[in-house]
Amino acid sequence: MSLNPSTPPEHSKDSTPRRRPSQKRSRATFDAITESAQTLIGSLGLDAVTMQMIADTANMPISRVYRYFPNKVAILTEVMDAVWQSFDEVLEEAVSGRADTEELIEAVVAALQSLYDRALHDAYFANLLAATSSVPELKGVYVDGARRRAERVAQYARPFVTVSDEDAALRTYTLLATLRSLGIEAPHCDETFQAELADDLERLTRETFSHLCFD
């Protein structure tokens, strides 16, 4: 079966946008594509979504979608990257300028809880996270983002930990964030389990950082 060169395969090695908008009109088109993808991913899951469906939902010809993105994976990575960038801002605001150990611990707990809460209420985010194990490009975005956030937390923890513990603080945050992500499966369980999981993860966060930090 031959493929029309104007409609390339939805899964290919290129996982970045073909072009990024520089003008207001093109920005609106770009955003319409990613927002349509979010809507579809939230209601149908990743596997069921196609480039044609994204184009239809965005009310534009598929050729216009391909003008910005070479395939579906490129759209998914753009959506996931945007999610993590927004969480980067939440974390940065939460942990910056903390005066002591307890404030830092509270900030980390609150930031991780906000991520967990978002996954409980945003189906598209939960579906993206669930796909990180099977879509290498999404896993790459996740790993890069987790490392970036871990380094920021370790930087702000520096005044409260020994030099030898700084790397431990980085690894600790990475582990805790990963556990939070695994907890995204909680929406499929009953409310009691969800509450117990949230309590366990919060206690683990507090105990681990309390062990590392000192005033």
Q: Does domain 24-70 have CATH number 1.10.3720.10?
A: no
CATH fit for domain 74-212, picks 1.10.357, 3.40.30, 2.60.40, 1.10.150: 1.10.357
Length of the chain: 215
Question: pLDDT tens, 43-79?
Answer: 998 899 999 999 999 999 999 999 999 999 999 999 9
What pLDDT score does 31 carry? 93
Q: CB under 8 Å to 205, separation ≥6 — which residues?
A: 105, 108, 109, 112, 176
Across all residues in the chain, what is the average pLDDT?
75
Question: pLDDT tens, 156-168?
Answer: 777 766 655 666 6
Yes or no: say if 146 and 174 are a contact pair by the CB < 8 Å rule. Answer: yes
Give the residue-averaged pLDDT of 89-93.
85
CA distance 112 to 135: 24
What pLDDT score does 171 carry? 65
pLDDT band for position 115 (cuts 50, 70, 90): confident
Question: pLDDT tens, 30-53?
Answer: 999 999 999 999 999 889 999 999
Whole-model pTM: value is: 0.70
Higher pLDDT, 188 or 54: 54
Q: Where in the chain is the domain with CATH 1.10.10.60?
A: 24-70
Q: Where in the chain is the domain with CATH 1.10.357?
A: 74-212
Yes or no: say if 153 and 91 are a contact pair by the CB < 8 Å rule. Answer: yes
CA distance from start to end of the chain: 67
